């Protein structure tokens, strides 16, 4: 099937069900600006936020939550913001990577390239990643609003239906 045919088939999926997970030691649901923005952008594109949670930077809890959501049949995509930095408390990537059945390295590469255009060489510190778990798309993003906006608007949302369609195969 040609790329255009894949895109057309993916368009028929309609609204997708997304899980939004914020990983942070410094925010509450009331102050979770990145998670709120993620939810807003998802719904503006006609998708639905099926699950939302805010967890501390705890590798085991993040791993359990992501695995549970991906295996629930209630979400088509798990979108994580936070816990991707270099500090000792940032463990989202360590929690998520071992779960992924397939990793999409191009997502992180493109995200860092686009980030470089906005913030310069500090973009190399991003460990953003995307992959597939149990037929579900899983994406991990930095915790800043700018990172969420960039990743969702420029990369993830334009291809989300196509990603989900391929992940389900």
| Structural domain of 121 | 15-168
Check residue 13 and give its pLDDT: 83
Q: Would you write out the chain's pLDDT as a tens digit for each of its 169 residues?
A: 666 666 666 677 899 999 999 999 999 999 999 999 999 999 999 999 999 999 999 999 999 999 999 999 999 999 999 999 999 999 999 999 999 999 999 999 999 999 999 999 999 999 999 999 999 999 999 999 999 999 999 999 999 999 999 999 9
Number of domains in the chain: 1
> What is the number of other CB atoms lying within 10 angstroms of the CB of residue 88?
7
CATH assignment of the domain containing 24: 3.40.980.10
Residue 8 domain flag: no
Q: Is 6 within the bounds of a domain?
A: no
**Distance between CA atoms of residues 159 and 87, nearest Å:** 31
pTM of the model as a whole: 0.94
Contact criterion met (CB below 8 Å) for 129 and 139 = yes
At residue 12, the pLDDT reads 76
pLDDT of residue 82: 97
Q: Does residue 9 belong to any structural domain of this protein?
A: no
């Amino acid at each position: 099937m040609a790329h255009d045919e894949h895109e057309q088939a993916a368009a028929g999926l309609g609204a997708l069900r997304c899980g939004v997970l914020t990983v942070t030691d410094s925010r509450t649901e009331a102050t979770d600006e990145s998670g709120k923005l993620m939810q807003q952008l998802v719904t503006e594109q006609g998708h639905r936020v099926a699950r939302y949670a805010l967890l501390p930077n705890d590798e085991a809890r993040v791993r359990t939550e992501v695995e549970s959501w991906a295996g629930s049949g209630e979400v088509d995509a798990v979108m994580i913001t936070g816990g991707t930095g270099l500090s000792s408390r940032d463990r989202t990537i360590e929690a998520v990577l071992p779960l992924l059945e397939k990793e999409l390295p191009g997502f992180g590469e493109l995200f860092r390239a686009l980030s470089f255009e906005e913030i310069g060489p500090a973009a190399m510190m991003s460990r953003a990643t995307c992959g597939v778990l149990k037929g579900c798309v899983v994406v991990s993003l930095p915790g800043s609003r700018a990172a969420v906006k960039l990743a969702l608007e420029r990369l993830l949302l334009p291809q989300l239906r196509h990603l989900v369609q391929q992940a389900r195969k």
